[in-house]
Structure 1
Amino acid sequence: MQIVIAHSHLNPGGVTRIIESQIDSLSGNDIKVLVGACSDEESITSRGAELHIIEDLNYLERRKYSDKQAMELLHKIHRELREHLGKDSVLHFHNLNLGKNPIVTYAVYLLAKEGVRVFNHAHDFAEDRPTNLQFLKEILTDIFLQDVNEVLYPNLPSYQFGVLNSHDYERLVSYGVNTDRVEWLPNPVAVKVSDEVPDKENAKTDICTSLQLNPEKLLVTYPVRVIQRKNIGEFILLSLLFAHKANFVVTQPPQNPVEIEMYNQWLAFCEKEGITIAFEAGTKVDFEKLLSGSDFCITTSYKEGFGMVYLEPWLLDTPVVGRDIDFITKDFRKDGFEFPTLYYKINIPGVKIDFKDLNMKMQMEIISGINSGKIEKQKIFEQNPILNTLFRTVATHITEKNKSIIRNNYSLKGYGIKLQERYKKMVG
């Protein structure tokens, strides 16, 4: 059996890390990786997988295509994929249903109709991103005269799905996908700590020295690439509310040009307001050392596929606090996980909706108002009493319990076993 793993790119981020974990968990198998772009080829080849760059798999430029242009690209992509598939291959494709390249999505659908075994690993869905869904319709319906739902969720025994959580499992079933064609596949959680990473206290001292932070304050890290759904405005709000007791750090800048514009506006805003946050810390210090040295990791994200940020830091004895995403955390809580302080909403005096639902301009106005004293900090804490517990010391037994659950329920070995059993069912 040959396993062909495919994705639009291998830029640093969540899906890339999962692909690397899959290769590790399937060690000993014949693995080929097909991607549109890869910034670090050695990260794949050093794991024993064969890597092929097929530029047409990358995101498709959002513009109008003639019928001829779309058809020519479809035939080209179909041929490029087919060349790498044998009789016993399983094509494990990541995020086909996100809508970033509708022609790739359609080509894989056609391959499945021809009998190719497809495992569609769904991290995100176009249904949650209206512009992506519209792009799918422009290509699949307007040009190829296809029903979008049929292409995304074909009723073919050779076309199966992997999902990250129970919410997405139920979603696929509601879309008409038979349960026997869906694998609930929570991401593996593993942190490889180098022997050179010092203990927590010394790691914090080193990080604070490198980033020129006050070591007497708490070190609070948001381990993400700043994109819209990570809700960076709320992170900045919290940094202002707790400026007296904590250093706030965020790890990576965005790469998408649309996101960069938003990010630069927030950088300029923080500079103008004199709000001190260590941006892009992940480009300046070792990531695992940063997580290890942090007193807390925080998340203000309002949309996640799996929610690795809720789990991974615990393995480095770093508690996780911040905004709760119930359909994500409910799976972890069922496993017995305890979270010290997660909140569902931030109320602002005189504002009727959750802070996360405000546009950037309104978020900036509120933060600026707090910074100038027009909005009293104390009023924010009165309307959001849970914030008073946000950085309360977490008992060691909770950390140890959570670490144990991760090791038992989200191991790399168990993940590999699940994958191989699903592949074997598909191959027969």
Structure 2
Amino acid sequence: MGHPTVALVHYHLRRGGVSRVIETASTCLTKAGIPHVILCAAPPEGRHKLPIQIVEELGYDSERGAGASGIRIVRAMRKAVRNAFASGRVIWHFHNHSIGKNRGFSDAAGILAESGEPMVLQYHDFAEDGRPAAYPAIANSETLYPYAPQIVHAFINSRDRQHLLKAGLPEKHTILHPNAITPPARVKPLPRAPRKPLVLYPVRGIRRKNLGELFLLAALAPKGTRFAVSLKPENKPWKPVHDEWVAFASDTGLPVLLDVVGRVAPAPKKQRTFASWVRHSTHFITTSVAEGFGLGFLEPAVIGKPLFGRNLPMVTGDFADHGIHPGRLYDRLLVPESWVGLETLRQNLVRTMQTTLESYGHEMSNQHLDRSFSAMRNKGHLDFGNLPENLQRQVIHRLLAGSEQSEVLAQTGDATQALSQWLAESLDQKNPSVSPEQLGPYTPKAYLKRLKELYDQASNASPEAPAYLTQRKVLCEFLKPGSFHFLRT
């Protein structure tokens, strides 16, 4: 009997992290001779050689009005697989089925679980984790998190896995399945290094990427240093936040360029492509406050660029287990409480937390409020990265108006130093802190090995009727008091 057909299922293949993961998986499976098909609502832009079957019903509900039912989506997916392969067993590999973008998509996973078919449910993001607008779509689902021997739950970081284990998911049905690292662009080094630093943030500028922190760094960077963000958001809810930072850049004159790829060139008479920006950059940066896997921490090493920025222990802890320390990373950027005002902060916290928790069907308790407010304070300082954008801009305006620069600190572990000094030292580094050899656990070869293991686990299991996690338990793991973050609402 040949290998079962693998059906990789996702909403779309637009530029972004999950799409790249699926494209990498498809490349690996093709090289291994494993039959597979990608099911998504629309083909990617430009030319591609991917084995795609279009299932329009998989698109975001917000883009199509009322969504298709789960059973209709299952029928459409089965038909698409038959179009690609006349017959044979199928392993269904869902990506982000539970994120709340399409209720029928989520229900389809539950329907297939009830049918006893082998499945992989791979999580990149969670509606319960800083996505309150998405959560109501799946809030009353009773079949969101099925588990049985033939269903493998794949996690890209240990924290997410632990949350679902604590919510009741049996460990034997789970696997840690980090992404593969492939070069985001292949570039030749410049013949001569640029005279002044050009720091590239190769992301789409959505809210959790914490763009305000780039402006704070730009205000303290050595003269001539430039910062650039590659793309603007596509989702409408994030565009107003991005536009406010575009206006702030214009108002202050700080050297931060937004949405550069395809719009402006990194140097006179040079191309505006992403590869061109990568080639002309001297450093990569990350200021994100939340990531699933954290490609941005490891990709710079593949293309020979040093990285600095904000540490995220929830993802870098997995890298440290392999002896990988991605670059110069701070844990917090500390600004004096007096630059914000505790009463102002508390009022912002009450308003935002109440709205967020209500979206999740939670009431705000005094415990939630007090523990979150206490967690934000740090010996007379606040972490700049956990301030709402209006207060971030207030801090930067104060700095530009002449407040003492030495009062802004970079904290790494228990140690602190003036951020301006830390930044100058970071810009002096010329090489990545990670060698290509250290990235062995994240190569496509290692990724393919894990894919085979999880497909074998799902297809070789004796099917059983699924049980389901209590969704409220999953939500409570992500909403623990003290975990609130302004930029994840």
TM-score, shorter chain, exceeding 0.5: yes
8 Å CA contact 1:291–1:313 kept in 2: the answer is no
User: Are 2:15 and 1:12 aligned?
Assistant: yes
The counterpart of 1:290, out of the listed 267, 277, 281, is 277
Q: Which residue of 1 aligns with 2:188?
A: 198
**Hey, which bits of structure 1, 4+ residues long, moved more than 6 A?**
none
Give the distance between the partners of 2:127 and 2:236, measured in 1 at CA: 20
Task: For residues 245-295 of structure 1, give each alpha carbon's deviation from its aligned partner in whole angstroms, at most 9, with x where no partner exists.
Answer: 511111111101111111111101110112232222222533344334322
List alignment gaps of at least 5 residues for structure 1: 205-214
Change (3 A) 1:159 1:216: same
Q: Is contact 1:297–1:313 with CA below 8 Å preserved after alignment? A: yes
- State whether residues 221 and 298 of structure 1, in contact with CA within 8 Å, keep that contact through their aligned partners in structure 2: yes
2:404 counterpart (376, 382, 385): 376
**Cα offset, 1:20, TM superposition:** 0.6
**Do 2:69 and 2:104's aligned partners in 1 also have CA atoms closer than 8 Å?**
yes
TM-score (norm 2): 0.75
Q: What is the one-letter code of the residue matched to 1:258?
A: P
Matched with 1:185 is: 177
Q: How is 1:79-228 mapped onto 2 (pairs within 5 angstroms)? A: 79-85=75-81, 87-128=88-129, 129-137=131-139, 141=140, 146-147=141-142, 151-191=143-183, 194=186, 197-202=187-192, 215-228=194-207
Aligned pair count reads 392
Identity of matched residues, % = 30
Q: Which residue of 1 aligns with 2:310?
A: 323
Moved more, 85-94 or 27-36: 85-94
Query: 2:151, 2:63 → 1: CA distance?
Result: 27
Q: Deviations over 1:224-264 (max 9, x none)?
A: 10001000111121112115151111111110111111111
Aligned to 2:108, what secondary structure does the other structure show? helix
More off after superposition, 81-90 vs 341-350: 81-90
Task: Give the TM-score normalised by structure 1.
Answer: 0.85
Question: CA–CA distance in 1 between the matches of 2:430 and 2:221?
Answer: 21
- Which structure is higher in helix share? 1
Alignment of 1:323-402 (within 5 A): 323-349=310-336, 350=338, 351=340, 352-373=381-402, 375-381=403-409, 385=417, 387=419, 388-390=421-423, 391-394=426-429, 399=433, 401-402=434-435
What is the aligned partner in structure 2 of residue 423 from structure 1?
455
Using the alignment, how far apart are the partners of 1:394 and 1:22 within structure 2? Answer: 34
Q: Distance in 2 between matches of 1:393 and 1:216?
A: 12
1:281 maps to 260
Provide the C-alpha distance between the structure 2 equivalents of 1:234 and 1:84, rounded to a whole number of angstroms.
45
Give 1:22's aligned residue: 25
**Letter in structure 2 aligned against 1:394:** Q
1:368-403: per-residue Cα shift (whole Å, max 9, x none)?
222232x2323325995163233253375x64x532
Q: Distance in 2 between matches of 1:162 and 1:295?
A: 35
| Residue in structure 1 matched with residue 43 of structure 2 by the alignment | 38
Q: Is the 8 A contact 2:209 2:288 kept in 1?
A: yes
Q: Which moved more, 1:308-317 or 1:112-121?
A: 112-121
Q: 1:176, CA displacement in angstroms?
A: 1.7
1:277 alignment partner AA: V
SS at match of 1:251: strand
Aligned partners of 1:258, 1:220: CA distance in 2, in Å?
27
Deviations 1:12-47 (A, max 9, x none): 00001111100111112211111123332633xx14
Deviation at 1:362, TM superposition (A): 1.2
